Amino acid sequence: MSSRWDELVPGAETGSVEFVVTDEMIDEYVGAMEIAHPWFTSANTPYHARIAPPDMICKLAMTPLFQEYIRRELGPNMRARQAFKFFAPIRAGMTVKATGHLTEKYERRGKHFVTLEALFTDEQGNPLVLDKRTQYLPEPAAAA
């Protein structure tokens, strides 16, 4: 593992995002995941609006929130663990915001892991989704 590992500080900000959830984003995500649930394909929902699959905004924000930072600081990585807490539905047209943080780094059986976290909120600051993920940092086989 590069010396960058020693320099990583838990609490460091890893990135931030702010974007509007559009019907096109939902269409693309639902298509890629082959999701058939009617709440994600029409506005005929208990919320009287179309909503996004609950994890969609986390997927769309993953690269600027976390991956650019990890790849820059540590290189290739793989998800080892993923947790979500869902607070409220994400409606089409809603503006969502999040800031990512590295919350933990640890070594287990000689392998390195980092845990990252971001709370997505709406424009008023109401929580939408908490995304907590742990990434495993393999040594590049070609460089070994």
Partner 1 sequence: MEFPAIEKRITIEKMARYTGEAGIHTDDKAAQKIGLPGAVVQGGQLVGYLNEMMTYALGQGYLEGGDISVVFVKSAKPGDVLVTRAAVKEQRETGARIMVDCEVWVENQRGEKIAVGNASGLLPESAQK
Please give the single-letter amino acid code of residue 103.
T
> Closer to partner 1 at the Cβ: 9 or 113?
113
- What are the beta bridge partners of residue 110? none
> Applying CB under 8 A, which of residues 11, 110, 125, 140 lies at the interface with partner 1?
140
> Applying CB under 8 A, which of residues 1, 87, 103, 104 lies at the interface with partner 1?
87
Residues that contact partner 1, how many (by CB under 8 A): 34
- Contact between 88 and partner 1 by CB under 8 A: the answer reads yes
- Beta carbons within 10 angstroms of residue 104's beta carbon: 15
Please, what is the end-to-end C-alpha distance for the chain in angstroms?
10
Per the CB < 8 A criterion, the answer to whether 121 and 137 are in contact is: no
User: 65: which 2 tokens?
Assistant: 């929130």
Q: How far is the CB of 41 from partner 1 (least distance, A)?
A: 12
Contact positions vs partner 1 (CB under 8 A):
31-35, 37, 39, 46, 51, 53-55, 58-59, 62-63, 76, 78-89, 138-142
